[in-house]
Amino acid sequence: MSPEPRKPFAARVFDAVRAIPSGRVATYGDVAAAAGRPGAARAVGTLMANAGPRRIPAHRVVAAGGALGGYGGHEAEKAALLRAEGITVVGRRIRGFAAIRCEI
């Protein structure tokens, strides 16, 4: 069943990202699945890159395996934001990733 097929895929992606509470993270694949298109992790990244001035916690969206992923070339800032939420970031990886992974 389609939750909201009237809205574009991007809108559902943004909605899913906004549903991520502070101190939690979700992978691009999880966001894509939450948007109704599992496997479209790459599409999610593309949309985020072109999201423009959207007010969404994009820094809470990370790559699979606990990798930070990308952040428009500012992954260091992304790690800082995650740390500010109580998330332990080691290099380009997240410590206890499975523990803070939010199921959308």
Kindly list the residues in this chain that would bind DNA in the complex (CB under 7 A).
Answer: 8-10, 27-29, 37, 39-51, 58-59, 61, 63-65, 67, 69-72, 78, 91, 93
Whether 37 and 9 have beta carbons less than 8 Å apart is answered as yes
User: What is the nearest approach in angstroms of DNA to the Cβ of residue 47?
Assistant: 5
- Other Cβ atoms less than 10 A from the Cβ of 52: the count is 6
User: What is the nearest approach in angstroms of DNA to the Cβ of residue 22?
Assistant: 16
C-beta of 20 vs 41, nearer to DNA: 41
Question: Phi and psi at residue 46, in whole multiples of 5°?
Answer: -65, -40
C-beta of 21 vs 52, nearer to DNA: 52
